Amino acid sequence: MVMAISDNMITKAQKPQGLLAQWHEDVHCVFGRDPAAHSVWAILLTYSGVHAVLVHRVSHRLWKANWKLLARILSAFSKMITSVDIHPAAIIGRRLFIDHALGVVIGETAVIGNDVTLYHGVTLGGTTWNKEKRHPTLGNNVMVGSGAKILGAITLGNNVRVGANSVVIKDVPACCTVVGIPGRIIQSKGTQIQNRHGIDLDHHLIPDPVGKAIACLIERIDELEAGQKKAHNVLVEDSCNVCDAESICVPKKEGATKLAARL
């Protein structure tokens, strides 16, 4: 079943807001998501991800005003300076933060909710040549790890975390963690995960189902080896307590019963 972000969330992401107010939020949200940020001037002068978002706010307004060529030129200039490629038609909610920024691509029909965090190398890509909705929709408070690819007209619910280098091609319900190629849900919190700033950045706390399965197998092998060793010791002890003639005459059923009793 195809998921859909609620109309309320989309409306909220697209709610009209003054350009200066948008810029103010885009700059100040960095303090809650990057401990290396020490001042507004440092952010304005050195954060290429912030530069890309600020320029997109302008190019998107030009695109909606039907100044599409000018919007594309401004977007292309931003890409050359920041290494972030955001199509001017993409709809981006409030307080988007692109950390480290290099190699980020956001397609034309992508929709991003509020308080989303993207790391370097993230792609929100399309999967069709047709002029239709072909890029992802991200809910609020989504975190996408470095190198992850989210492809197609799919929807990621609120508070979703995508592990680094994952490839997501299917809808993801809210409050889930997705990893792998193709992406699979490995954890479902069921509730919103927040730190004191309201943003979940614990993308290193990702469960390892393969490692857990291997650990269970190793534990089971240890138990089997311990049982095998105990059985071997019983057989050796029995062979020491009877002579060869007696051991030959002991019926198999009796020997098996004795072994089972000793175990």
According to the model, what pLDDT value does residue 4 have?
A: 44
Domain boundaries, the chain: 7-206, 211-262
What's the pLDDT band for 208 if we cut at 50, 70, 90? low
Q: Which CATH superfamily is domain 7-206 in?
A: Hexapeptide repeat proteins (2.160.10.10)
According to the model, what pLDDT value does residue 221 have?
A: 86
The residue type found at 203 is: H
pLDDT, tens digit, for every residue of 88-122? 999 999 999 998 888 899 999 999 999 999 999 99
Angle between helices 209-241 and 252-262 (to 10 degrees): 120
According to the model, what pLDDT value does residue 32 have?
A: 86
The residue type found at 231 is: A
- Taking CA atoms, 97 is separated from 9, 23, 219, 254, in Å, by 18, 12, 43, 75
Q: Which two tokens stand for residue 8?
A: 């309320």
Closest CA to 143 of 88, 205, 56, 89: 205
Closest CA to 24 of 117, 103, 116, 94: 94
Q: What is the rounded end-to-end Cα distance, in angstroms, of the chain? A: 54
How far is residue 119's CA from residue 145's CA, in Å, rounded to a whole number?
5
Please return the burial class of 48, using the count of CB atoms within 10 Å of its CB with bins 0-12, 13-18 and 19+: middle
Hey, which bits of the chain come out as E strands? 84-86, 91-92, 97-98, 104-106, 111-112, 117-118, 123-125, 137-138, 143-144, 149-151, 155-156, 161-162, 167-168, 176-179, 184-188
What mean pLDDT, rounded, does the chain reach?
Answer: 80
Q: Which two tokens stand for residue 103?
A: 């190699």
More confident of the two residues 8 and 101 = 101
According to the model, what pLDDT value does residue 80 have?
A: 93
Neighbour tally for 167: CB within 10 Å: 16
Q: Is the pLDDT of residue 209 over 50?
A: yes
According to the model, what pLDDT value does residue 1 have?
A: 39
How far is residue 116's CA from residue 142's CA, in Å, rounded to a whole number?
5
| Residue length of the chain | 263
Laid out side by side, the sheet with 123-125 consists of 84-86, 104-106, 123-125, 149-151, 167-168
Closest CA to 98 of 163, 53, 49, 54: 49
Is this prediction's pTM over 0.75?
A: no
Q: Residue written as tokens 């290429």?
A: 48
According to the model, what pLDDT value does residue 10 have?
A: 46
Name the region of 118 (left: φ>0; alpha: ψ -120 to 50; beta: rest): beta
According to the model, what pLDDT value does residue 50 have?
A: 92
pLDDT, tens digit, for every residue of 181-205? 888 888 766 545 545 555 555 555 5
